[in-house]
A and B are shown apart, each in its own frame.
Chain A
Amino acid sequence: MIGEAHDVAVEPPSIILGIETSCDETAAAIVRDGREVLSSVVASQIDIHARYGGVVPEVASRAHVEAIIPVVAEALAEAGIDHVDLDAVGVTHGPGLIGALLVGVSAAKALSLAWEVSLIGVNHLEAHLYAAFLEEPDLEMPLVILLVSGGHTMLVVMEDHLRYRVLGSTLDDAAGEAFDKVARHVGLGYPGGPIIDRLSTNGDPEAIRFPRAMMSDGWDFSFSGVKTSVVNHMRRHPDTDVGDLVASFQEAVADVLVTKARRAAREEGARGICLAGGVAANSRLRERVREVCELDGLRAFLPDREMCTDNAAMVAAVAWHRLCADGPSALDLGAFPSLRLPTI
Chain B
Amino acid sequence: MLILGIESATGQVGCALGGRGGLLASAHTVRPRRHAESLTPQIRFIVDQAGVALSDVDAVAVDVGPGLFTGLRVGITTAMSLAWALGVPVVTATSLELLAFAATTDGREVMAVVDARRGEVFHARYRRTPDGMTQMSSPAVASPAAVASSLATSAANRGDNVLVVGDGARTHIDVFRGIDGVDVAPTGFDRPSAAALVSLATPVVERGEFVDPTDVAPLYLREPDAKAKWDPAAGTPS
Residues on A close to B: CB < 8 A?
Answer: 49, 52-56, 58-59, 61-62, 65-66, 68-70, 73, 83, 98-99, 102-103, 105-107, 109-115, 177, 181-182, 184-185, 227, 231, 331-335
Contacts and interface: CB of A to CB of B under 8 A. Distances in A.
A43 to B, nearest CB: 13
Contact of A114 (B86, B218, B226, B228): B86
Given A54-B230, A334-B36, A106 B78 contact: yes
Contacts of A181: 230, 237-238
A69 B81 contact: yes
B82 A110 contact: yes
A69 B218 contact: no
Given A102-B74, A110-B40, A69 B213 contact: yes
A-side interface mostly: helix
Interface of B: 34-41, 43-44, 54, 69-70, 73-74, 76-82, 84-86, 213-214, 217-218, 220, 224-230, 232, 235-238
A55 B74 contact: no
Contacts of A54: 228-230, 232
Given A106-B78, A111-B81, A114-B85, A331 B40 contact: yes
Contacts of B86: 114
Contacts of B82: 110, 113-114
Given A65-B76, A65-B218, A113-B44, A56 B225 contact: yes
A18 to B, nearest CB: 15
A52 B213 contact: no
B36 to A, nearest CB: 5
A116 to B, nearest CB: 8
A102 B237 contact: no
B77 A107 contact: yes
Given A59-B224, A231-B236, A231-B237, A335 B40 contact: no
Nearest to B232: A53
A23 to B, nearest CB: 11
